Amino acid sequence: MKVIVGNEKEISQLIADEFVKVVKAKPTAVLGLATGTSPLMVYADMAKAYKDGEVSYKDCKSFNLDEYVGLEGTHDQSYRYFMTENLFKHIDIKLENTHVLLGVGDYKAYMNQYDKEIDEAGGIDIQILGIGSDGHIAFNEPGTPFDSLTHETELTEQTIKDNSRLFNDISEVPTRAVTMGLASIMKAKKIVLIATGKNKAKAVYGLIKGPITEDMPCSILQKHPDCTVYVDEEAYSLVK
């Protein structure tokens, strides 16, 4: 595991550069994408690279990590909406090549075939991750089995509390989600993780220095052959 320390602007640009590098080398690359506040600057930099004529994403495919159960893709807090507004509408990727788990309708059927679709696309070439304050990656909460594939999960009180900042009221935050599993994530050829802020310091310590345990889901990344962690000084403070 490689660790790079910088401010949010610096590390976001570095991660965007990694995505651009992968796509330039393989125009049909399969991109693993995440939501939340952590990757926002990364996506802005990826879009800028496209607008500057540096890269084209038109032949890429993408797969997102997760989605809230109960939210339509048009809901402004759904992850499909998030990706459209923050990345897809700003680059030339074909919308039919973007895959986000469903949260309504026959979402379980799509959930059950998600890993197969990723495999059929050739596997994820580069996956971006954020990290929860309790060490979860995607919505793999503490206690999630390391061999888990895409599944439905109940969100912990901590995750609901953390995500409530994006809703008008905590009562509006969905309590369940569908998510790629830990084994699903570990199949990615290359993983980049971004963590900023003091509230992520404990999780980052568990990620880098802690024992590999299902109580700290992110710790499984210590076993990945090509994982780079990008952190700011506050998130890295306990490791130092």
* 134 classed as catalytic: yes
Sheet holding 151-154, edge to edge: 66-68, 176-179, 151-154
* 214 classed as catalytic: no
Selecting among 136, 162, 224, 232, the annotated active-site residue is 136
* 136 classed as catalytic: yes
Selecting among 8, 45, 67, 134, the annotated active-site residue is 134
Strands 126-129 vs 98-99: parallel, antiparallel or unpaired: unpaired
- E-strand stretches of the chain: 2-5, 30-33, 61-64, 66-68, 98-99, 126-129, 151-154, 176-179, 191-195, 227-231
**CA–CA dist 9, 139 (Å, integer):** 25
Selecting among 45, 66, 67, 162, the annotated active-site residue is 66
* 59 classed as catalytic: no
Q: How many residues does the chain have?
A: 240
Q: How far is CA 223 from the centre of its chain?
A: 18
Could you tell me which of 212, 151, 236, 83 has the C-alpha nearest to residue 75?
A: 83
**CA–CA dist 217, 99 (Å, integer):** 24
**CA–CA dist 66, 76 (Å, integer):** 15
Write out the catalytic residue numbers: 66, 134, 136, 141
